[in-house]
Amino acid sequence: MHKNDIKHLQRAIDLAAKYGSDGRHGPFGAVIARNGKVLAEGWNAVVDSFDPTAHAEMQAIRAAAENLKTHELSGCTLYASCEPCPMCLAAIYWARIDRIVYAATKEDAAAVGFDDSLLYEEMAKPWPARHVKSDQALQEKAARMMKSWAENPDRVHY
């Protein structure tokens, strides 16, 4: 653990408690910091913002990236009141965040009715075994389009 870790993690828990107390926000909070400086905070806003992706970690990542005018948060630490779900964990990777400090676990989340543990199981399954139904078509057409994209020397990779 580093200097200020507990302070930032406590703030993530405080955000979860504060916004969760009205019953219209899930009990989750997050803070993103770099070199000891807080860049953004987030709290769960799924219900009140009509956005199923508005988990605390996602909100903090989006706010930090917008504040810094970049899609890349290298060198940042994300503090989360609860272990991130697969959506938020994958977003952490896409944002190139280096480190996570979390408090409660996905089992604690499951105990109050959130599907995080189930989602981790679903991620690991092949399509036919997943709860969500799936079909595939036009693979070659789409793969060809992606190859054309990759051949553009001016593309911005991320």
Per CB under 8 A, contacts with a copy of itself among 72-101 are 72-73, 81-82, 85-101
Annotated catalytic residues are 57
126 binds a copy of itself (CB under 8 A): no
Distance from CA of residue 138 to its chain's centroid? Answer: 30
For 25, the token pair is 């926000």
Residue 101 and residue 8 in contact, taking contact as beta carbons nearer than 8 Å: yes
143 binds a copy of itself (CB under 8 A): yes
**What span, in angstroms and rounded, lies between the C-alpha atoms of 28 and 82?**
7
Of 3, 35, 37, 69, which one interacts with a copy of itself (CB under 8 A)? 69
**What span, in angstroms and rounded, lies between the C-alpha atoms of 21 and 34?**
29
User: Across the chain, which distance is largest between two alpha carbons, in Å?
Assistant: 52
150 binds a copy of itself (CB under 8 A): yes
Residue 61 and residue 91 in contact, taking contact as beta carbons nearer than 8 Å: yes
Letter for the amino acid at 144? R
Give the footprint of a copy of itself on residues 29-48 (CB under 8 A): 46-47
Of 4, 34, 38, 102, which one interacts with a copy of itself (CB under 8 A)? 102
133 binds a copy of itself (CB under 8 A): yes
Nearer to a copy of itself, 38 or 155 (CB): 155
1 binds a copy of itself (CB under 8 A): yes
